[in-house]
Amino acid sequence: MAVTIRDVAEASGVHVSTVSRAFSAPHLVNPVTRTRVLAVAEDLGYRPNRAARALTTGRTHNIGLIVADIANPFFPPLIKAAQAQARLRDYHVFVADTDEDPQVEEELIQTLTKQVDGVLLCSPRLTNKTIERLREEVPFVVVNRRVKGMPTVLMDVGRGVRLAVEHLTGLGHRRLALVTGPSGSWTSKEMQAAAAAMSEADVTFLGPNAPTELGGLAAVTDVIASGATGVLAYNDLVAIGLIEGLAERGVDVPGEISVIGVDDIVPGRLSRPKLTTIAMPTAAAGRIAVDLLLGSVDSEAAGGVTVLETSLIVRDSTGEANS
């Protein structure tokens, strides 16, 4: 049915190996034969069969991208960037969604493992031990989590947290709260560590919470009880949920409580009040992670740790402490 390399070989009067090389090892074939072969191939509409190629080379030209939840607006920009970058390198991306479940995450990696050349693990909830074990089976690049000896792309939330806390204390807030994320989240731990390290601030930790609007909604009672007037949420979704919940209780943001999110997702830019947030360079992370992964696939060189900058974007959900 489909046109194969042998059809092209026959039509252009050379051996199949020459056709093969015309595509995958141009320097090994005479330029004039090469152009002729390519022309014939184009003419016949030849497209190399990836499965066949994968069989001999051991490269599927696919990569896996594992995220906790596609529905979280944090991920789509990262996914898009990763896909675009992969496509540039003639790779395709399997996106898989773990529903925030470490169990599912591990299974997914297992089944993906044999059909991809490498896996991008975004904010994994797995234990380090598990990740290191899985690592034997397929190259990884980890995003938003530090795992010993693994190529990693990190976003410097610590810095963002420091900026956020300074912003809040600068506005006169004395009692702060950090609405933390899921218990397995590296980012959440980083945020706690960064906040705890700031001796000038009095911050209580509230959590763990689901990294969604519902998680924010659920944290409202604790936030109010904490007496904090400045709140840093695990992410924008949580912040939005929190603001909603506070509004329902008649608490004004930023009038009574200031709220800061993390991620700078689009809904946060358009919500009311517009969300003050720590911007994460998600697209850059996706792009770089793919480069790192494909780099470590081709050469055995395991990349190090890349840290991307974050920044604080001040909008309308934070204001002066009133007292």
| Binding positions for DNA, rule: CB under 7 A | 1-2, 4-6, 13-18, 20-21, 23-25, 27-31, 33-34, 46-49, 52-53, 55-57
Q: Which residue has the tokens 């290191």?
A: 132
Report yes or no: 141 and 85 within 8 Å, Cβ to Cβ.
no
The CA distance from 281 to 185, in Å, is 18
Question: Of 83, 85, 180, 258, which one interacts with a copy of itself (CB under 8 A)?
Answer: 83
Question: How is residue 102 annotated by DSSP?
Answer: H
Closer to a copy of itself by Cβ: residue 22 or 63: 63
The CA distance from 93 to 91, in Å, is 7
For residue 209, the SS3 value is: coil
Closer to DNA by Cβ: residue 7 or 316: 7
**Exposure of 254 by Cβ count < 10 A (0-12 exposed, 13-18 middle, 19+ buried)?**
buried
Q: Can you say whether the dihedral through the CA atoms of 74, 233, 142, 65 is positive or negative? A: negative
Report yes or no: 281 and 155 within 8 Å, Cβ to Cβ.
yes
* 118 scored as a contact of a copy of itself (CB under 8 A): no
Question: Of 28, 52, 196, 197, which one interacts with a copy of itself (CB under 8 A)?
Answer: 52
Contact partner at residue 25 from DNA, a copy of itself, none, CB < 5 to 8 Å by partner kind:
DNA
Pairing relation of β-strands 276-279 and 311-313? antiparallel
Minimum CB separation of residue 24 from a copy of itself in Å reads 16
State both tokens at 175.
Answer: 């009692």
Closer to a copy of itself by Cβ: residue 174 or 274: 274
The CA distance from 302 to 306, in Å, is 12
CA atoms within 13 A on the CB side of 134: 26
Contact partner at residue 73 from DNA, a copy of itself, none, CB < 5 to 8 Å by partner kind:
a copy of itself
* 49 scored as a contact of a copy of itself (CB under 8 A): yes
Mask 185-224, x = binds a copy of itself (CB under 8 A)?
---------------------------xx---x-------
Minimum CB separation of residue 2 from a copy of itself in Å reads 8
Contact partner at residue 97 from DNA, a copy of itself, none, CB < 5 to 8 Å by partner kind:
a copy of itself
Mask 261-280, x = binds a copy of itself (CB under 8 A)?
-----xx--xxx--------
Minimum CB separation of residue 286 from a copy of itself in Å reads 12
From the list 46, 1, 56, the residue with the least C-alpha distance to 37 is 46
**Exposure of 244 by Cβ count < 10 A (0-12 exposed, 13-18 middle, 19+ buried)?**
middle
* 17 scored as a contact of a copy of itself (CB under 8 A): no
The CA distance from 151 to 146, in Å, is 9
Question: Of 11, 44, 95, 198, which one interacts with a copy of itself (CB under 8 A)?
Answer: 95
Closer to DNA by Cβ: residue 15 or 269: 15
Helix axes 236-248, 213-226, angle to 10 degrees: 60
Q: Within the chain, how many helices (H) and strands (E) appear?
A: 13, 12
Closer to DNA by Cβ: residue 20 or 306: 20
Closer to DNA by Cβ: residue 13 or 149: 13
Size, binding site for a copy of itself by CB under 8 A: 42
Q: Which residue has the tokens 């990763």?
A: 82
Q: Which residues bind a copy of itself (CB under 8 A)?
A: 2, 47, 49-52, 54-55, 60, 69-71, 73, 76-77, 79-80, 83, 87, 92-97, 99, 111-112, 114-115, 212-213, 217, 240-241, 244, 247, 266-267, 270-272
